[in-house]
Amino acid sequence: MTRFPLFCCTAALLAAGAAQAQVGATIDLGTTGVGAHLVLPITPGLNGRLGVNYFKHDFTKRSGLVEYNLDGKLQTADALLDWYPRAGSGFRLTAGVLYNNTRFDAVAAPDQLGTFRLNGAQYSGADVGLLVGKVDFRKAAPYLGIGWGNALNTERGWSFGGDLGVFHQGSARVSLRSERCVALSALCERLARDVAAEQARLADDASDYKVYPVLRASLSYRF
- Tell me which CATH code domain 5-217 carries: 2.40.160
- pTM for the model stands at 0.79
Report domain extents, the chain.
5-217
Measured distance CA(88)–CA(93) in Å, rounded = 14
* pLDDT by 10s per residue, the chain, length 223: 444 444 445 444 444 444 445 899 999 999 999 999 999 999 989 999 999 999 998 999 898 889 999 999 999 999 999 999 998 889 999 999 999 999 999 999 998 888 999 998 999 888 888 899 999 999 999 999 999 999 888 667 889 999 999 999 999 999 999 887 776 678 888 898 999 999 999 988 888 889 999 999 999 999 8
Instruction: For residues 22 and 181, give the distance between their C-alpha atoms in angstroms, rounded to a whole number.
Output: 61
Per DSSP, helices labelled H in the chain are: 5-17, 125-128, 185-206
